[in-house]
Homo-oligomer: A and B are copies of this chain.
Amino acid sequence: MKIEEIREWVVPIRSDMRNAYIQFSAMTVSVVALVTDVMRRGRPVIGYGFNSNGRYAPHGLLHDRFLRRLQEASETSVLNDEQDNFDPQRVWNILMTGEKPGGHGERSVAVGVLDMAVWDAVAKIEDKPLYQMLADRYRCGEAEDKVFVYAAGGYYAPGKSLTALQEEMRRYLDSGYSVVKMKIGGASLEEDLQRIEAVLEIVGDGQALAVDANGRFDLDTALAYATALEPLGLFWYEEAGDPLDFELQKVLCRRYPHAMATGENLFSVQDATNLIRYAGLRPERDFLQFDCSLSYGLVEYLRILSMLEAHGWSRRRLIPHGGHQLSLNIAAGLGLGGNESYPGVFEPFGGWADDHPVVGGYVTLPDAPGIGFETNTGLKRLMANLMA
């Protein structure tokens, strides 16, 4: 049993849209295919992985360091004790050989992409959906029937009118979502409030709308928004300030009575621990958005789950960033609170299984081996084209 080949491609996910911090006109994703010599249904098992949006394709890092380490590892060193499957933790240890502690960014994406492909392959070799395999390994077999997903959109785009924003949000509701998210912080507070009011006209209730500042605000601005947002009773107020400014977050958590959300730009268990220790987040109210594809993968995410448990946090407070099916599988298999979704954006990386529509804000998962990429026609076609 061995890895025959690892292939990697850079795929653009260009768009005119922007959040409060960056344009997406040059955004890229790495797709990796981990080709094994294990046969299932007459074909070799291939595990696929990719990074989610916001950071860039870790192409250079993969080729400078990480692919080489995996290619140079001995065949048995990547297998489990029974030698009947790959072992994600052992692969992870090989990938991280020679890496110093601290400095968790970029390489965390390279490892995340490879880790996703490993878990996809491992579940395919077990011939189980990944969520079921995770439930079997870590939760006595109990997977969730369905996962809460919310529609993340409401980006800024050149010439985008309030009407266009409203139409976008109506499409999300018509597609079965019960909660939508929009960007703030890329315009003035006044203009953002007009945008928010326009969206509330469509979604009806503050609990159906989350807002995301993408880390743009200083403390004064964050507090001014908090004051303006408070009467609206929103679903959450996300990443008001710099993701590492735990003091700012702490002040906000004292002043703003409703839910806040953060964590998508913290890429390690060490950084996640500091957030929990210092940012004053409220375990009964706030949400954590760590995204395994940017953060050393599911192997590291399992460490984050242990850390959270030790700090008295329920897994239900976790709703990962990124809108990919690995997090969807983790949510179903390990009982997270939900997952992000980008309907119509970052396609085909952001979609679910074709015949599993969102209903009442929840989505079900297909009974297909692995992460389930092949159940999404767009993704399946992309991966087939890359491999061809």
8 Å CB contacts to B: which residues of A252-309? 265-268, 270-271, 273-274, 277-278, 294
Q: Which residues of B contact A73 (CB under 8 A)?
A: none
Whether B60 contacts A56 by the Cβ 8 Å rule is no
Chain A interface secondary structure, helix, strand, loop or mixed? loop
8 Å CB contacts to B: which residues of A119-137? none
Whether B102 contacts A267 by the Cβ 8 Å rule is yes
Interface status of A215 (Cβ within 8 A of chain B): yes
Whether B23 contacts A100 by the Cβ 8 Å rule is no
Whether B100 contacts A55 by the Cβ 8 Å rule is yes
Interface status of A339 (Cβ within 8 A of chain B): no
Whether B215 contacts A101 by the Cβ 8 Å rule is yes
For A270, give its contact among B64, B98, B242, B273 (CB under 8 Å).
Answer: B242
Whether A22 contacts B243 by the Cβ 8 Å rule is no
For A60, give its contact among B64, B101, B278 (CB under 8 Å).
Answer: B64
For A98, give its contact among B26, B62, B108, B243 (CB under 8 Å).
Answer: B26
Q: Which residues of B contact A316 (CB under 8 A)?
A: none
Interface status of A65 (Cβ within 8 A of chain B): yes
Per the CB 8 Å criterion, the residue count for chain A at the interface is 45
Q: Which residues of B contact A62 (CB under 8 A)?
A: 60
Contact with B along A46-88 (1 / 0, CB 8 A): 0000000011110111111100000000000000000000000
Question: What CA separation (Å) do A278 and B266 show in the bound complex?
Answer: 17
Whether A21 contacts B101 by the Cβ 8 Å rule is yes
Whether B100 contacts A247 by the Cβ 8 Å rule is no
For A105, give its contact among B65, B105, B214 (CB under 8 Å).
Answer: B105
Whether B266 contacts A102 by the Cβ 8 Å rule is yes
A124 CB to closest chain B CB (Å) equals: 29
Interface status of A107 (Cβ within 8 A of chain B): yes
Q: Which residues of B contact A360 (CB under 8 A)?
A: none
For A61, give its contact among B22, B61, B245, B273 (CB under 8 Å).
Answer: B61
Interface status of A244 (Cβ within 8 A of chain B): yes
A16 CB to closest chain B CB (Å) equals: 14
Whether B61 contacts A65 by the Cβ 8 Å rule is no
Whether A102 contacts B274 by the Cβ 8 Å rule is no
Whether A215 contacts B102 by the Cβ 8 Å rule is yes
Question: What CA separation (Å) do A98 and B214 show in the bound complex?
Answer: 13
Whether B61 contacts A102 by the Cβ 8 Å rule is no
| Listed residue (A55, A242, A244, A268) with the most chain B CB atoms within 10 angstroms of its CB | A244
Interface status of A145 (Cβ within 8 A of chain B): no
For A243, give its contact among B21, B102, B247, B267 (CB under 8 Å).
Answer: B102
Whether A104 contacts B101 by the Cβ 8 Å rule is no
Question: What CA separation (Å) do A214 and B98 show in the bound complex?
Answer: 13
Q: Which residues of B contact A60 (CB under 8 A)?
A: 59-64
Question: What CA separation (Å) do A105 and B295 show in the bound complex?
Answer: 12
Whether A103 contacts B22 by the Cβ 8 Å rule is no
A216 CB to closest chain B CB (Å) equals: 8
Q: Given that A60-B60, A61-B106, A106-B61 are contacting pairs, would A101 and B244 also be in contact in the complex, using a CB cutoff of 8 Å?
A: yes
